A and B are shown apart, each in its own frame.
Chain A
Amino acid sequence: MLSSLSFLIRGNTEELNTKKLKELECLYLVNKNQPVRNDNGDPWTAEELTEDLSRRIKALKLDAFTPIVSDVLGKLAAHDDALHYFVLVSTYRLPDENFAKSLKELGLQQKLVTMIDGEYKFRLYSKPNEHNNVPQLAWDITPVLKNTKVAEIDVTVPSNDLSNIRPVDDWGLISRDFQSILNCEELNLSAREGQPIEFFHLDNITFYKNLLDMHRGISSDLFQLDSDNHFYQSKPCRVEEWNLTTTRAIQQKHIFLANQLSEIVKNLKKHFVTSTSNSIRLLIQKYLIDEQHIFTEYFDSLLGTDSGFQFRHIIDTFPQLEIRSPNTNKFEVCDELYEIVSAHYHVIREMNEIVRRINDYSPILLNEMSFTGSQSAPQFYARKMWRRMNVSLIKFIVNKLAEMLTTPDAELMELLTDAGDPRLIKDPSIWQRLNPLTMESSQCIDEELASRVADLIIGYQFFINDKKNRRQKSDESTFAITDIQDEEELELFSKTQHFEKIINDILSEVDICSTTEKLDELSTCINKLLDQVPTKTIVEKYSQIVLEKSIRFFEFLKSFFTSAYIHLKNRNIVSPSTLHTLELEKIHKQGYDSEFLKTVGYDMKSTMEDSLLTVNPPEPLNVFVSTGVTDIYSQVFTVLNMLHTALDAVIETQYSETLNHEPRLRYAFFHMNTTVFAIRKNMLSLIEAAYETLKKTLNFKDFSSSQSSHELLNVFYRAHRKFIREVAGALMMNSKRGTTGRVIRLMVSSVTQASKACLEGDAVAADKFYQQFQTNLLIFLDQCRLDHARYPLYRSLEIGNDETDGRKSLNSSYSDDLSCRSY
Chain B
Amino acid sequence: MSGTGALMTVHVGQCGNQLAQAFWKSMVDEHGINERGQTTHEDDMNDKKDLLFYQADDDHYVPRAVLVDLEPRVINGMMQSPNFSNLFNTDNIFLSDHGGGAGNNWASGYCQGQEVQEKIMDIIIREAENTDNLDGILFTHSVSGGTGSGTGSLLLEKLREAFPKKVIQTYSVFANSDTSQTTDVVVHPYNWVLSMQRLIENPDHVVVLDNAALHRLAAGKFKTDTPTFDHINSLVARIMSTSTAMYRFNSPVCPSIRYLDLAPFPPMHFIQSAISPVVDPNENFTRKTSVADVTRFLLKPTSMMVSTASRVRPNDCMLSAYMFLQGQIEAHTIMSAEQNVDFAINRPPFYMLKPLRMMHAPLSPYVRPQYKVSGLLLNNSTSVAPLFESLLSKYDKLRAKKAFIDKFEKIVSGLRISRKINQTFQENFTLDMMDDAVHIVQDLLEEYKAVVQKDYLTRGL
Are A and B co-members of a single complex? yes
In whole angstroms, what is the CA distance A644 to B254 when docked?
A: 10
> Using Cβ atoms and an 8 Å threshold, which residues of chain A touch B259?
647, 651, 677
Residue in A closest to B3 when the chains form the complex, CB atoms: A567
Residues from 103 to 117 in B contacting A, C-beta threshold 8 Å: none
| Residue from A648, A685, A692 within 8 A of B335 (CB atoms) | A685
Q: Are A689 and B252 in contact (CB under 8 A)?
A: no
In whole angstroms, what is the CA distance A613 to B250 when docked?
A: 22
| Residue from B250, B335, B343, B355 within 8 A of A682 (CB atoms) | B335
Given known contacts A591-B46, A666-B264, A796 and B353 CB-to-CB distance under 8 angstroms: yes
What is the number of contacts between chain A and chain B, taking CB atoms within 8 Å? 116
> Using Cβ atoms and an 8 Å threshold, which residues of chain A touch B48?
591
In whole angstroms, what is the CA distance A625 to B48 when docked?
A: 29
B76 CB to closest chain A CB (Å) equals: 37
A sample of 20 cross-chain residue pairs with beta-carbon separation below 8 angstroms, ordered by A number, consists of A559-B252, A567-B3, A569-B2, A569-B3, A571-B2, A590-B4, A591-B46, A644-B2, A655-B164, A664-B458, A669-B264, A670-B265, A670-B320, A671-B352, A678-B357, A681-B253, A692-B330, A793-B338, A801-B352, A802-B352
Residues from 788 to 818 in A contacting B, C-beta threshold 8 Å: 792-793, 795-797, 799-804
Q: Are A681 and B353 in contact (CB under 8 A)?
A: no
> Using Cβ atoms and an 8 Å threshold, which residues of chain A touch B339?
792-793, 795-796
> Using Cβ atoms and an 8 Å threshold, which residues of chain A touch B46?
591
Q: Are A563 and B164 in contact (CB under 8 A)?
A: no
The reply to whether the CB of B404 lies closer than 8 angstroms to some CB of chain A is no
The reply to whether the CB of A309 lies closer than 8 angstroms to some CB of chain B is no
| Residue from B3, B253, B352 within 8 A of A799 (CB atoms) | B352
In whole angstroms, what is the CA distance A145 to B376 when docked?
A: 140
Given known contacts A566-B252, A591-B46, A664-B457, A685 and B360 CB-to-CB distance under 8 angstroms: yes
The reply to whether the CB of A593 lies closer than 8 angstroms to some CB of chain B is yes
Residues from 749 to 808 in A contacting B, C-beta threshold 8 Å: 792-793, 795-797, 799-804
In whole angstroms, what is the CA distance A562 to B250 when docked?
A: 11
Q: Are B352 and A592 in contact (CB under 8 A)?
A: no
Q: Are B335 and A674 in contact (CB under 8 A)?
A: no
The reply to whether the CB of A568 lies closer than 8 angstroms to some CB of chain B is yes
1/0 contact trace for B421-461 toward A, CB 8 Å? 00000000000000000000000000000000000111101
A552 CB to closest chain B CB (Å) equals: 10
> Using Cβ atoms and an 8 Å threshold, which residues of chain A touch B357?
674, 677-678, 681
Residue in A closest to B330 when the chains form the complex, CB atoms: A692
> Using Cβ atoms and an 8 Å threshold, which residues of chain B touch A457?
none
> Using Cβ atoms and an 8 Å threshold, which residues of chain A touch B330?
689, 692
Residues from 310 to 324 in B contacting A, C-beta threshold 8 Å: 320
> Using Cβ atoms and an 8 Å threshold, which residues of chain A touch B265?
663, 666-667, 670
B364 CB to closest chain A CB (Å) equals: 15
* Majority DSSP secondary structure for residues of A touching B: helix
> Using Cβ atoms and an 8 Å threshold, which residues of chain A touch B350?
667
The reply to whether the CB of A680 lies closer than 8 angstroms to some CB of chain B is yes
1/0 contact trace for A561-602 toward B, CB 8 Å? 011001111010000000000000000001111000000000
For the complex of A and B, list the 3 residue pairs with the smallest distance between their C-beta atoms, beginning with the closest. A689-B331, A670-B264, A563-B252
The reply to whether the CB of B238 lies closer than 8 angstroms to some CB of chain A is no
The reply to whether the CB of A347 lies closer than 8 angstroms to some CB of chain B is no
B49 CB to closest chain A CB (Å) equals: 10
B6 CB to closest chain A CB (Å) equals: 13
Q: Are B360 and A566 in contact (CB under 8 A)?
A: no
Residues from 674 to 717 in A contacting B, C-beta threshold 8 Å: 674-675, 677-678, 680-682, 684-686, 688-689, 692
The reply to whether the CB of B332 lies closer than 8 angstroms to some CB of chain A is yes
In whole angstroms, what is the CA distance A752 to B332 when docked?
A: 31
In whole angstroms, what is the CA distance A681 to B165 when docked?
A: 25
In whole angstroms, what is the CA distance A669 to B47 when docked?
A: 32
In whole angstroms, what is the CA distance A648 to B5 when docked?
A: 13
B100 CB to closest chain A CB (Å) equals: 38
Q: Are A797 and B331 in contact (CB under 8 A)?
A: no
Q: Are B352 and A566 in contact (CB under 8 A)?
A: no
In whole angstroms, what is the CA distance A673 to B357 when docked?
A: 12
B120 CB to closest chain A CB (Å) equals: 23
In whole angstroms, what is the CA distance A640 to B259 when docked?
A: 15
In whole angstroms, what is the CA distance A692 to B330 when docked?
A: 7
> Count of chain A residues with Cβ under 8 Å from any Cβ of B?
51
Residues on B facing A (Cβ under 8 Å): 1-4, 43, 45-48, 164-165, 204, 250, 252-253, 255, 258-259, 261, 264-265, 320, 330-332, 334-335, 338-339, 342-343, 350, 352-355, 357, 359-360, 456-459, 461
In whole angstroms, what is the CA distance A674 to B259 when docked?
A: 10
> Using Cβ atoms and an 8 Å threshold, which residues of chain B touch A684?
252-253
B201 CB to closest chain A CB (Å) equals: 12
Given known contacts A651-B258, A677-B357, A667 and B335 CB-to-CB distance under 8 angstroms: no
Q: Are A667 and B264 in contact (CB under 8 A)?
A: yes
| Residue from A563, A681, A800 within 8 A of B352 (CB atoms) | A800
> Using Cβ atoms and an 8 Å threshold, which residues of chain B touch A664?
457-458, 461
Q: Are A675 and B353 in contact (CB under 8 A)?
A: yes
Q: Are B332 and A680 in contact (CB under 8 A)?
A: no
> Using Cβ atoms and an 8 Å threshold, which residues of chain B touch A675?
353
Q: Are B331 and A686 in contact (CB under 8 A)?
A: yes
Q: Are A796 and B354 in contact (CB under 8 A)?
A: yes
Residue in B closest to A691 when the chains form the complex, CB atoms: B331
Given known contacts A675-B353, A681-B253, A688-B360, A566 and B3 CB-to-CB distance under 8 angstroms: yes
1/0 contact trace for A634-649 toward B, CB 8 Å? 0000001000100110
In whole angstroms, what is the CA distance A701 to B258 when docked?
A: 40
Q: Are A681 and B359 in contact (CB under 8 A)?
A: yes
In whole angstroms, what is the CA distance A681 to B204 when docked?
A: 23
In whole angstroms, what is the CA distance A674 to B355 when docked?
A: 8
In whole angstroms, what is the CA distance A682 to B332 when docked?
A: 10
Given known contacts A667-B350, A671-B353, A677-B357, A804 and B343 CB-to-CB distance under 8 angstroms: yes
Q: Are A592 and B45 in contact (CB under 8 A)?
A: yes
Q: Are B250 and A591 in contact (CB under 8 A)?
A: yes
B204, B353, B456 — most chain A CB neighbours (10 Å): B353
In whole angstroms, what is the CA distance A569 to B5 when docked?
A: 12
B263 CB to closest chain A CB (Å) equals: 9
Residue in A closest to B461 when the chains form the complex, CB atoms: A664
B259, B265, B330, B334 — most chain A CB neighbours (10 Å): B259
In whole angstroms, what is the CA distance A678 to B253 when docked?
A: 9
In whole angstroms, what is the CA distance A674 to B357 when docked?
A: 8
Given known contacts A562-B252, A563-B255, A566-B4, A674 and B45 CB-to-CB distance under 8 angstroms: no
In whole angstroms, what is the CA distance A692 to B333 when docked?
A: 12
B47, B335, B352, B459 — most chain A CB neighbours (10 Å): B352
> Using Cβ atoms and an 8 Å threshold, which residues of chain B touch A674?
261, 353-355, 357
Q: Are A563 and B250 in contact (CB under 8 A)?
A: yes
B342 CB to closest chain A CB (Å) equals: 6
In whole angstroms, what is the CA distance A550 to B330 when docked?
A: 23
> Using Cβ atoms and an 8 Å threshold, which residues of chain A touch B359?
681, 685
In whole angstroms, what is the CA distance A684 to B361 when docked?
A: 13
> Using Cβ atoms and an 8 Å threshold, which residues of chain B touch A795?
339
Residue in B closest to A559 when the chains form the complex, CB atoms: B45
| Residue from B45, B253, B255, B354 within 8 A of A591 (CB atoms) | B45
Q: Are A566 and B343 in contact (CB under 8 A)?
A: no
A207 CB to closest chain B CB (Å) equals: 91
Q: Are A680 and B2 in contact (CB under 8 A)?
A: no
B328 CB to closest chain A CB (Å) equals: 10
Residue in B closest to A790 when the chains form the complex, CB atoms: B335
B460 CB to closest chain A CB (Å) equals: 9
> Using Cβ atoms and an 8 Å threshold, which residues of chain B touch A793?
335, 338-339
